[in-house]
């Protein structure tokens, strides 16, 4: 199968699983919104934001590191498991660091963020630690093009989480804590299934490889005669440097997606949690497509890495351009839907006492398209080994986003978040495109 067909097939398979995941995530928040009081729902969205800001910033760098390194090693026929041990050491260190920080800051997190709820605090801690294994598995699966297993992982995670909100909606369980428990249980439940399936797949692959294993002496001679196969020395320092740059990208990414609701809560005197929940709902227009776009992000990085390792510049550019074109078409469609019936759709999904403005929903749709384009360009730059330069663009745009939220004087705080999101996404996509053209 050609590289382009492999990429397309992988993205299609993942789109099915992750597209369903996005819909199930919408259902989780819709059920929670209709089942809980506005303040309780607001704290659920804050818990969600805190968990996924943390896991995306702390663990996705290792996922990206594994995905790119495994794909590169496969393309260059480099064997061994040293890269897995390095990535595992980095992931373990990051998990321990989070646990230490969370325990030291328990008071502020529990009292200021969760209104004194120790239950929500411990759900945060358990969920973040459980996602360490989940994101390691995702990177491994993506790097080896095991996309059906990757899709199964995220689908199981979203489905198990939604069951907790459903239990509250139909009266089996009750209250904010029951809905929140789904956030901690989801990664644990998904990992109970995936290792078994992955183990069977690995055993089958090992059996096939063993049947055609060449003579070790031949491999040693080939390694001595083929210096290009020995060029990518994957050391702890090199892996940590790449992961640190991607960590900055992830931090900036989560700033775009979650700083709005968090800053709204922090700066509003009364009803802060409820208004934060409303702002979160508006940004779901950008956040929900990102669930689907994970299929593209997950498959395009190892795909582009393989093309670059093989010196295939034209297919590389075609893959990026095709993805950008699809994003433009999708964003245009979402913007038209929001223009025609956005307020009615949002009221149906989430209800509440707030009114959704049509213009603001269209703005977020445009910003979503710009943001997805930036995320695609970022994957291309990671494949080129330009993680540091890409991270500088992300940090600059995220800083501009936060400064606008803090310094601009808007009576309508939600409109301020919408304008800030679109402007920062435009800045980011332009900067990354200029960098990509130079690459």
pLDDT exceeds cutoff 50 at 228: no
Q: Please, which pLDDT band fits residue 223 given cuts at 50, 70 and 90?
A: very low
How high is the mean pLDDT of the chain?
79
In this predicted model, what pLDDT tens digit does every residue of 55-67 receive, in sequence order? 888 898 888 888 8
Higher pLDDT, 347 or 15: 347
Q: Please, which pLDDT band fits residue 209 given cuts at 50, 70 and 90?
A: very low
Q: Where are the domains of the chain?
A: 3-438
Furthest C-alpha separation in the chain: 73
44, 62, 159, 201, 283 from 26: Cα distances, Å: 14, 27, 11, 32, 12
**The whole model's pTM is what?**
0.73
In this predicted model, what pLDDT tens digit does every residue of 360-419 receive, in sequence order? 788 888 888 898 999 899 999 988 888 889 999 999 999 998 888 888 777 777 778 888
For a pLDDT cut of 70, what percent of the chain falls above it?
78
In this predicted model, what pLDDT tens digit does every residue of 41-54 receive, in sequence order? 888 888 988 898 88
Count of residues in the chain: 439
199 vs 213: CA distance, rounded Å? 20
* Residue indicated by tokens 């999904």: 349
Higher pLDDT, 427 or 304: 427
Per-residue tokens: 50: 């805190």
Residues 6 or more apart in contact with residue 268 via CB below 8 angstroms: 275, 276, 413
Higher pLDDT, 255 or 28: 28
SS3 170: coil
Residues 6 or more apart in contact with residue 221 via CB below 8 angstroms: none
In this predicted model, what pLDDT tens digit does every residue of 81-134 receive, in sequence order? 777 888 888 899 999 999 999 999 999 999 888 888 899 999 999 999 999 988
Higher pLDDT, 38 or 355: 38
Q: Please, which pLDDT band fits residue 272 given cuts at 50, 70 and 90?
A: low
């Amino acid at each position: 199968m050609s590289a382009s067909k492999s990429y397309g097939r992988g993205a299609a398979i993942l789109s099915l699983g992750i597209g369903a995941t996005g819909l199930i995530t919408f259902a989780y928040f819709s059920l929670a919104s209709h089942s809980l009081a506005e303040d309780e729902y607001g704290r659920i969205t804050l818990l969600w934001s805190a968990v996924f800001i943390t896991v995306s910033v702390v663990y996705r760098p290792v996922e990206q590191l594994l995905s790119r390194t495994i794909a590169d090693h496969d393309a260059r026929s480099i064997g061994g498991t040293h890269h897995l041990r390095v990535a595992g050491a980095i992931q373990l260190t990051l998990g321990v660091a989070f646990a230490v920080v969370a325990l030291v800051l328990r008071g502020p997190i529990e009292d200021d963020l969760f209104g004194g709820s120790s239950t929500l605090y411990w759900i945060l801690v358990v969920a973040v630690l459980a996602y360490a294994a989940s994101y390691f598995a995702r990177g491994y699966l993506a790097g080896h093009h095991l996309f059906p297993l990757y899709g199964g992982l995220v689908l199981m995670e979203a489905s198990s989480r939604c069951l907790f909100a459903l239990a509250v909606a139909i009266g089996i369980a009750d209250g904010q804590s029951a809905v929140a428990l789904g956030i901690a249980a989801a990664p644990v439940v998904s990992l109970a299934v995936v290792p078994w399936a992955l183990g069977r797949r690995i055993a089958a692959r090992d059996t096939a490889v063993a049947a055609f294993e060449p003579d070790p002496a031949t491999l040693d001679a080939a390694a001595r005669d083929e210096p290009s196969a020995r060029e990518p020395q994957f050391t702890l320092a090199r892996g940590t440097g790449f992961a640190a740059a991607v960590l900055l990208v992830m931090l900036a990414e989560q700033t775009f997606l979650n700083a709005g609701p968090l800053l709204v809560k922090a700066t509003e005197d009364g009803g802060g949690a409820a208004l934060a929940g409303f702002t979160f709902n508006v940004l779901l227009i950008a956040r929900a497509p990102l669930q689907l776009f994970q299929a593209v992000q997950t498959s395009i990085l190892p795909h582009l890495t393989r093309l670059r390792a093989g010196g295939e510049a034209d297919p590389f550019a075609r893959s990026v351009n095709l993805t950008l074109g699809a994003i433009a078409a999708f964003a245009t469609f979402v913007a038209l839907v929001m223009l025609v019936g956005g307020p009615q759709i949002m009221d149906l999904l989430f209800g509440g006492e707030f009114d959704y403005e049509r213009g603001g929903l269209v703005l977020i749709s445009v910003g979503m398209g710009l943001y997805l384009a930036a995320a695609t360009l970022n994957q291309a730059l990671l494949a080129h080994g330009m993680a540091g330069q890409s991270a500088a663009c992300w940090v600059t745009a995220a800083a501009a986003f936060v400064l606008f939220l803090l310094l601009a004087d808007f009576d309508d705080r939600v409109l301020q978040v919408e304008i800030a999101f679109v402007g920062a996404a435009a800045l980011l996509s332009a900067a990354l495109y200029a960098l990509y053209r130079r690459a």
